[in-house]
Chains A and B, each alone.
Chain A
Amino acid sequence: MNPQARTFELPERFRTLTTVFAVIGGAGLLLGAVLAPERAWLNLLLGGHYLLGLALGALFFLAITYVSGAGWCVVLRRVPEALTGTLPVGTLIMVAALLIGVSGLFPWLELTGGAEHHDVGFKTVWFGVPFFLARAAICLVIWLGFARAIIANSRKQDEDGDDDHTRNNIKLSAGFLVLFALSVSVASFDWVMSLEPDWYSTIFAIYYFSGIFVNALATILVLLVWLRWRGILVDMVTEEHLHDLGKLLFGFTTFWMYIWFSQYMLIWYANLSEEVVYFVKRTSGAWEPLFLANMVVNWVVPFFFLLSRGAKRNERVLFRVGVVLMIGHWLDLYIMIFPSFSPTTPPFGLWEVAGALGTIGILFLAFAWQFGKAEYFPKRDPFLAESRHHHQ
């Protein structure tokens, strides 16, 4: 028989700590809005990308496992499901960041507003504020809709045990993947690439996607191990499941490096002035060590630490590498966003600390809120038995 499933509550001390983090983040950025509006906004944008990307990456994980008929991950599915459930939180922050951005901070605003602009180019139309906001709204609504539907099906199955929920989710996932590919392209061009309004790179959406998916995998692992250390899912999730997640993490960090290198190498090689400007900023002055550190944290560390079979089955190693990658993704976003505004020195101070702490706090609170909404594992999923007896 299945062990009885229960629902989850965050441990008292942890709840206090994360709440404090979230409050520091919120208060810090509010203060920043008065004292250093641009820096505060950039941190809000970064936090929005971080949380939204995490939820989207987790949703992508759900969709891809449904579509490929992967049975192995069913026992741990509630973790990515809960992360997906945090999507509204990320959405709220992103909406705030976008609204503040269009009120005067996005660097492309000068293209659309000024009367001196006699030449109406593509960007004048593309970056018209209503059109920009409409695109954002469409993307967010698509994601929220699919996230809600897929999670609802999975939770309903706990009650009625109907296999049709799985079949429906497979269909929903296929639809989501198509729309996701389009919407994440638009979102990454609009919300990140446009911070350098004259620069463009066709691979950018894939680069952005690879980052959020790696971060989602890393966070799933970190949360899973953390839950196991609290006695949750201990006998359900075995070394085999961790091993598979470890392999995915290993594979996708390498994928990230591959995409990163493809973008960098081609721009370096062709050396066209309108393209290299992006990397010139990011390799000049104090940005260069961070630029190099980005590769170390996001690829070298996971590659060498996860290469061996033993490491991918060791929850301590996985937890640590996961944490490194969670920091790594923050750094990656930081390098994508900040140099456009501060080309020579990487700004780091109160606002960045507040932003990062707030992100962590909100992440855990939102996750706990969602993870507590359902049982620890989908107890009546048709693939549950297969997943529980998963071995190599």
Chain B
Amino acid sequence: MSQRYLLGTFEREEDIVGVVKKVRELNYKIVDVYTPYAVHGLERTAGFAPSRLPWVCFALGLFGALFKVWFEFWTTASDWAINVGGKPWNSLPAYVPITFEVMVLFAGLSTVFAFFWSSRLFPGKKPIMPDIRVTNDRFVLVLEQEDSTFDVAKVQRIFKRFNTVKVEERQEGGQG
């Protein structure tokens, strides 16, 4: 069964926010929304689940910090202990700075890579976009026509109410 999609293009933030809210209320299936900039709160309006990136950040940051404390202790106090300036073998206050730096490094890099991975972003990827202008000044809402009850004319009327500039239907593969 081939998938059919309905795409509405909008020009203003208020319109895209309004239309997303409306189609959500009417329980249409939002495939995706394309925007030129981050519209705050739109992901909640569209009903997308919150990202789990904070967990990656927390876990890897904690791991980095613990690893570094152990590593500094092991190298400085155990593997080859050297007396430097009469400081104790286990100079915990002196380990804090690098532990912090390594924690930030682990947490930061791992979160960025997790972001690339979960968003499937990589060099050489061909961007799949409904309209070339979504990175410039257009907002596009993509709905899936789940079954025969999907009333294209009705949805078009909703789109019209939010000042749509273009409505089109596409078969599978035509969009992202």
Contact = CB atoms under 8 A, between A and B. Distances in A.
B40 interface: yes
A265 B93 contact: yes
Contact of A265 (B54, B58, B96): B96
Nearest to B44: A392
B93 A391 contact: no
Contacts, number: 17
A392 B40 contact: yes
Interface in B89-120: 93-94, 96
Contacts of B123: none
Nearest to A266: B93
Contact of A269 (B41, B54, B58, B94): B94
A392 B54 CA distance: 17
Contacts of B40: 392
Interface string B37-55: 0001100000000000010
Interface residues of A, number: 11
Report whether over half of chain A's contact residues are helix, strand or loop; otherwise say mixed: helix
B111 to A, nearest CB: 15
Interface residues of B, number: 9
B93 A264 contact: yes
A264 B91 CA distance: 13
A229 interface: no
A268 B93 contact: yes
A261 interface: yes
Nearest to A308: B54
A307 B57 CA distance: 12
A264 B92 CA distance: 12
Contacts of A307: 58
Interface in A254-276: 261, 264-265, 268-269, 271
Contacts of B94: 265, 269
Contacts of A264: 93
A50 B82 CA distance: 45
Contacts of B54: 308-309
Contact of A391 (B41, B86, B96): B41
Nearest to B50: A309
Contacts of A269: 87, 93-94
Interface in A292-351: 307-309
B41 A261 contact: no
B87 to A, nearest CB: 8
Contacts of A391: 41
Contacts of B58: 307
Contacts of A268: 93
Contacts of A309: 54
A128 B83 CA distance: 46
Given A269-B93, A309-B54, 13 more contacts: A261-B93, A261-B96, A265-B93, A265-B94, A265-B96, A269-B87, A269-B94, A271-B86, A307-B58, A308-B54, A391-B41, A392-B40, A392-B41
Interface of B: 40-41, 54, 58, 86-87, 93-94, 96
17 contacts: A261-B93, A261-B96, A264-B93, A265-B93, A265-B94, A265-B96, A268-B93, A269-B87, A269-B93, A269-B94, A271-B86, A307-B58, A308-B54, A309-B54, A391-B41, A392-B40, A392-B41
